[in-house]
């Protein structure tokens, strides 16, 4: 039975292994496991301890994936709650014309997090605000 071991090269932003791990999910793991079982030598099959260890790894991968998704959802929810809390408040932000201030009118949910509309100007990110009154 062969084992796949990723090689690691260090880059300015981190390791290549980290990038590979972010791309490999539970579906890829299951495909690799199925291929390994399909192609094993019938005269020398995988021993049950190795198989159980791989199944435990699969379970761990799935749990970590589910935890990461739950954390992302919780973060998005918290960001939206904080942005909604700004409605009716006067906020200040910097733009090319200098510091601007206006009352928050609404909040929009977007793929990169919530944005607010203040003083008729949409698309303001809460992180870009310099003051909330």
Assess whether pLDDT exceeds 70 at residue 5: no
Given this model, what pLDDT does residue 116 score? 93
Pairing of strands 98-108, 115-118: antiparallel
For residues 111-115, average pLDDT: 89
Q: What is the pLDDT of residues 13-34, one digit of tens each?
A: 444 444 444 556 667 777 877 8
Task: Supply the pLDDT for residue 115.
Answer: 92
* Number of domains observed in the structure of the chain: 2
Check whether residue 45 and residue 67 sit in a common domain. Answer: yes
User: pLDDT: is 55 or 21 the higher one?
Assistant: 55
- Residue 109 structural domain: 86-132
Mean per-residue pLDDT, 85-110: 90
Buried b (16+ CB within 10 A) or exposed e, 53-65: ebeeeeeebeeee
Residue 101 pLDDT greater than 70, yes or no: yes
The answer as to whether 104 is a domain residue is: yes
């Amino acid at each position: 039975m062969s084992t796949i071991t990723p090689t690691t090269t260090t880059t300015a932003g981190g390791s290549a292994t980290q990038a590979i791990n972010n791309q490999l999910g539970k579906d890829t793991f299951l495909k690799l496991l199925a291929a390994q079982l399909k192609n094993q030598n019938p005269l020398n099959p995988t021993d049950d301890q190795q198989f159980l260890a791989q199944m435990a790894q699969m379970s761990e991968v799935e749990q970590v994936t589910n935890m990461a998704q739950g954390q992302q959802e919780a973060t998005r929810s918290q960001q939206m709650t904080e942005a909604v809390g700004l409605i009716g408040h006067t906020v200040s932000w910097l733009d090319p014309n200098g510091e601007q201030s206006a009352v928050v009118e609404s909040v929009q949910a977007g793929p990169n997090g919530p944005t607010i509309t203040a003083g008729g100007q949409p698309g303001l990110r809460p992180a870009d605000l310099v003051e909330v009154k």
